[in-house]
Amino acid sequence: MSEGSARPVVAAVDGTEQSLRALDWAADEAGIRDRRLRVVYAFEWPMRRVAAMGAPGFDPDEFARRILEDARQRVEARTPEVAIDPVYVDGDPVPVLLTQAKEAEVLVLGSRGLGTLGSAVLGSTGMQLATAAACPVVVVPSRTTGPRSGRVAVAVDGSPASLAALDWAFTVAEDHDATLSAIMVCDDPPSLFTGPLAKAAYRGPSETERAAAQEIAHQLLADATAPGRELHPQVRVTEVVAAGHAAQELIGEAEEADLLVVGSRGHGGFAGMLLGSVSHAVLTHSTRPVAVVRAPRD
């Protein structure tokens, strides 16, 4: 096994139900990918000695060990074939997990953590990791997502980040024997108009303009998916062109998917669908796990 193929799946835990849902997803993924599962609890204890003196019998290290032991037992019951590496780091979760991501196959987080002693997967922390981690980051929602559907959805806009997301999604679909749905959204906003009166007067594109945009989008999708189809001929691919608000359309298209994959950033035109606000909305509101894949650095 090569060094690259030996990269572990890393799951951040903090004892909350949200992080345990993410742990379940990570354990399943480690089993499918035949990877080790590294379970990481990271928390910075301010005034560690003073806090311990004020709470007789409380040991931060023992608290961390208990969280990791509970996580280990949960994984062993769910996926006994997966090897587990528990890791506790007394430090700020963001830099700790960013360091872990450098040698990870994928980093898995809960959508938010609500522990009274702090959390490694608070919304702001998750957003920082999703945009800065060296590996793909999967954010698992706290809401029930239902049974697996055998479908992976990926947002495509032609940007380097979305093409990296598409490449990764092909691999995931192959590993899971899943259908890959490549989605491109054509926005209808009056981008050349400003002010409430202008927006109220905007009637949207004509049927001719809409048809032309759809044709261009279908061609862009075909061009984008061609390399992946050649490298992964066994993956079933569907191409979806939708019109409307990018985040809403992506969330809606992904409702029946096991995973929605997006790039970490986009650019103008068709590629504007993956700007920060859209990615943030998808991560915040999706009822399905969302993977964020960053474009390779030059």
Whether 9-140 shares its CATH topology with 151-293 is answered: yes
Cβ density class 12-35: b for 16+ within 10 Å, e for less:
bbbbbebbbbbbbbbbbbbbebeb
Q: What is the mean pLDDT of residues 121-140?
A: 81
Question: Which residue type, as a one-letter code, is found at position 125?
Answer: T
Q: At how many degrees (to 10) do helices 160-176 and 17-33 cross?
A: 70
262 falls in which pLDDT band (50, 70, 90)? very high
pLDDT digits (tens, 9 = 90+) for 272-286: 444 466 777 888 888
* Predicted local confidence at residue 188, as pLDDT: 57
Per-residue pLDDT at 116 exceeds 90 = no
- For residue 230, CA distances in Å to 219, 222, 223, 287 come to 17, 12, 12, 31
Superfamily of domain 151-293: HUPs (3.40.50.620)
Task: Give the C-alpha separation, 110 to 35, whole Å.
Answer: 20
Per-residue pLDDT at 25 exceeds 80 = yes
Which of 50-64, 77-91, 135-149, 227-241 is least confident? 50-64
* Predicted local confidence at residue 8, as pLDDT: 97
* Predicted local confidence at residue 298, as pLDDT: 41
pLDDT digits (tens, 9 = 90+) for 140-172: 987 755 667 899 999 998 888 889 999 999 999
The CA-based angle 82-291-240, given to 5 degrees, is 125
* Predicted local confidence at residue 187, as pLDDT: 67
* Predicted local confidence at residue 144, as pLDDT: 59
Would the pTM count as exceeding 0.85?
no
* Predicted local confidence at residue 169, as pLDDT: 97
pLDDT digits (tens, 9 = 90+) for 218-258: 899 999 999 999 999 999 999 999 888 888 899 998 888 99
First to last CA, the chain: 28
Query: 211, 269 in Cβ contact below 8 A?
Result: no
Q: β-strand 137-140 against 290-293: which pairing, if any?
A: antiparallel
Say whether domain 9-140 belongs to CATH 3.40.50.620. yes
Helix, strand or coil, per DSSP, at residue 34: coil
Task: Give the C-alpha separation, 52 to 58, whole Å.
Answer: 6
Question: Which residue type, as a one-letter code, is found at position 196?
Answer: P
pLDDT digits (tens, 9 = 90+) for 166-220: 999 999 999 999 999 999 988 655 444 444 444 454 455 667 767 777 788 889 9
State the DSSP string of 85-136.
EEEEE-S-HHHHHHHHHTT-SEEEEES----TT--SS-HHHHHHHHHH-SS-
Domain boundaries, the chain: 9-140, 151-293
